[in-house]
Amino acid sequence: MKKPKIAQKSPYVLDTKAGNYAWCACGESSKQPFCDGSHKGTDFTPIIVEIKEDKKIAWCGCKHSQNATFCDGTHNGL
């Protein structure tokens, strides 16, 4: 499988409301860190995440986190 594009080498730290989010897995979205459909025609699909309460989240920006949608510091080694 092709590797995702690195959208940025740091997390997107956002105040996030409770709800469902489609996290961009390909790195091509213009609405980072969320999906805008740019993956169409690729092997990538967004990852749907349910956030149960309002909170600050460090969404993965490098698209290589072992913690999927959330930053785990992997960007420090890229």
Tokens of 60: 């993965």
In this predicted model, what pLDDT tens digit does every residue of 50-63 receive, in sequence order? Answer: 999 999 999 999 99
Give the C-alpha separation, 3 to 62, whole Å: 11
Segments making up each domain of the chain, as ranges: 12-77
pLDDT exceeding 90 applies to what percent of the chain? Answer: 96
What pLDDT score does 1 carry?
62
In this predicted model, what pLDDT tens digit does every residue of 15-47 receive, in sequence order? Answer: 999 999 999 999 999 999 999 999 999 999 999
What pLDDT score does 69 carry?
97
What pLDDT score does 2 carry?
87
Give the C-alpha separation, 58 to 76, whole Å: 14
Task: Please return the burial class of 59, using the count of CB atoms within 10 Å of its CB with bins 0-12, 13-18 and 19+.
Answer: buried
